[in-house]
Structure 1
Amino acid sequence: MGKIENGINGGFTGSVGAVTGYYLNGKWVIRSKRRKSIKNKTGSADQKACRSRFTIMQTFLSPIVAFIRIGFNLESKKRMMTAHNVAKSYNMLNAQNAAGEIDYAAVRLSFGKLTGAEDVQLEHDDVGVHFSWKDNSNGNHARKYDQVMLMAYDVDNKTAFFETSGARRFKERDSLEIPSFYKGKTFHTWMAFISDDRMEISMSSYCGSFVF
């Protein structure tokens, strides 16, 4: 619906049929509505490839959104974007090739400048997966009480087990329980640290994969 401005001799704003009116640089302007071309609807080869990469990354991140919302929370506030969109943008750029294949070792599930994990070791048994690391707080009391964030993700079956408020950095060990139902499944793992006040976070570290 259009709206007449300044009486019958004036211009109009809005749409009437196939015509749109608006005020631009001191003049009333009208133009016909743009129609989507068949090419834009179907997409070029490059557009299709981009859409495919987007869908693959979207599918990868969807089961772990709760983790991502914490992991990319601080960076999302700086960029004024959602945490999910920041994570997707970063990982499409840094952990995905042109064919859409994801390099799990390059994936980041958290983003920040806090000191990350060192000397990470991974073990697993019938109960779950056990992470150990070196206490690298180096006498810094605040860093000593940073909490670990852990992720074990069965990418093929889109199943994840994670912890966002785990053991303190100085404890040097924490675990994720995995139900016996998932025996034989392959899990990829990541870990990060977050400060006690939630105002600092580290970049996540890829810890490798294992068959449960």
Structure 2
Amino acid sequence: MYYIFVGETLKTINMARITKGILGGFSGKVGTIVGANWRGQDIIRSTPKPSSRPPSEKQLLQQEKFKLVIGFLQPLNSIQKRYFGSGSGSKSRVNMAVSYTIGEAIQVTANLPEIVFAKVLITKGDLAGFQNVIATPQSGQMIRLNWEDNSVQGNANTTDKANVVCYCEELGAFNIFESVADRNLTTADITLPISYSGKEVHVWTYFNNAAETTACNSPYLGIITLI
């Protein structure tokens, strides 16, 4: 049984996997059941049934957390589809990113959920990460990253690509800079739009391998005021 929110209503879903049958799987609604193919498996499920009970305070808070996280992570979907977790099992990478953020990167203040930016992961993976990476502001809305070359350690490679993700809380906007430098170059500059001058941005970075099949856990580099 699964529980989902549709609008403001809590609904329940019963779901089963089709393992045998002369007709195989089917797609669509038949009576009170729905057939579909989900992550390579034929399933049937009951149609959602609205609960007759009003949502509790705990359920309402969970809804608010879910809405906050979904809205925050949506611009990162194309990254997290590739680079968050293994992508195996019943959850997609995007679902794993949502679950992680709700569970690990949310705090509640005065009954309102807030993002804890220092705990946010943009990517999550087994690639060797950065060594002693720092970010510093430069003139012209520029941020400079410096790190040490650790391309001989573990599964690191000189051709791993450095990426930078910036989030301006005031504007509610992400800026994403992909493949800005190879691991062995140890430095990269990124420039934000002139409208960001004087604004604060949260900064994360990550490496992905040249084949774009894996990434490291993304370190949070703090808040930078652009100049």
Task: Indicate the TM-score class for this superposition, using the shorter chain for normalisation.
Answer: 0.7 to 0.9
After TM superposition, list the pairs within 5 Å mapping 1:59-208 onto structure 2: 59-72=71-84, 75=85, 77-98=87-108, 99-124=112-137, 125-138=139-152, 143-208=157-222
CA, structure 1 residues 140+81, in 2 after alignment: closer, same or farther (shift >3 Å)?
closer
The CA deviation at 1:80 is 4.2
Q: Please, which runs of 5 or more residues in structure 2 have no aligned partner?
A: 1-29, 34-47
The CA deviation at 1:105 is 0.9
* Structure-1 separation of matches of 2:69 and 2:50: 30
* Cα contact 2:128–2:155 (8 A) shared by 1: no
From 37, 45, 49, the counterpart of 2:57: 45
CA, structure 1 residues 200+48, in 2 after alignment: closer, same or farther (shift >3 Å)?
same
Q: Say which structure is richer in strand.
A: 2
* Cα contact 1:63–1:158 (8 A) shared by 2: no
Q: Say which structure is richer in helix.
A: 1
- Report the 3-state secondary structure (helix = DSSP H, G, I; strand = E; otherwise coil) of the residue aligned with 1:164: strand
- Report the 3-state secondary structure (helix = DSSP H, G, I; strand = E; otherwise coil) of the residue aligned with 2:118: helix
CA, structure 1 residues 89+126, in 2 after alignment: closer, same or farther (shift >3 Å)?
same
Task: Tell me the TM-score normalised to structure 2 length.
Answer: 0.70
Bigger Rg, which one: 1
What code does the residue aligned with 2:115 have?
A: I
* Cα contact 2:82–2:214 (8 A) shared by 1: no
Q: RMSD value over aligned CA atoms?
A: 2.5
* Cα contact 1:128–1:179 (8 A) shared by 2: no
Q: Please, which runs of 5 or more residues in structure 1 have no aligned partner?
A: 1-12, 21-32
The CA deviation at 1:90 is 0.9
* Structure-2 separation of matches of 1:35 and 1:68: 32
- Report the 3-state secondary structure (helix = DSSP H, G, I; strand = E; otherwise coil) of the residue aligned with 1:210: strand
Task: Tell me the TM-score normalised to structure 1 length.
Answer: 0.75
* Cα contact 2:141–2:197 (8 A) shared by 1: no
